A and B are shown apart, each in its own frame.
Chain A
Amino acid sequence: MTLSRRQMAWRAAQDIAEGHYVNLGIGLPTLVSDYVPASREVVFHSENGILGMGPAPQPGDEDKDLINAGKGLTTLLPGGAYFHHNDAFLMIRGGHIDLSIMGAYEVSERGDLANWATNSDRLAPGVGGAMDLASGAKEVRVLMEHNAKDGAPRLRRRCTLPLTGRGCVTRIYTNLAVLDVTRDGLVIREMIEGLDLAKLQALTEPALSLANDWRRLVAPDL
Chain B
Amino acid sequence: MSINFFKMNKQITVTVNGAQHTVEVEPRTLLVHLIRETLNLTGTHIGCDTTTCGACTVLLDGKSVKSCTILAVQANGRSISTVEGLLSADGQLHPLQEGFKENHGLHCGFCTPGMLMRSVELLADNPNPTEEEIRWGISGNLCRCTGYNNIVKAILYAAAKMRGEPVPSTEPEFV
Check if A and B associate: no
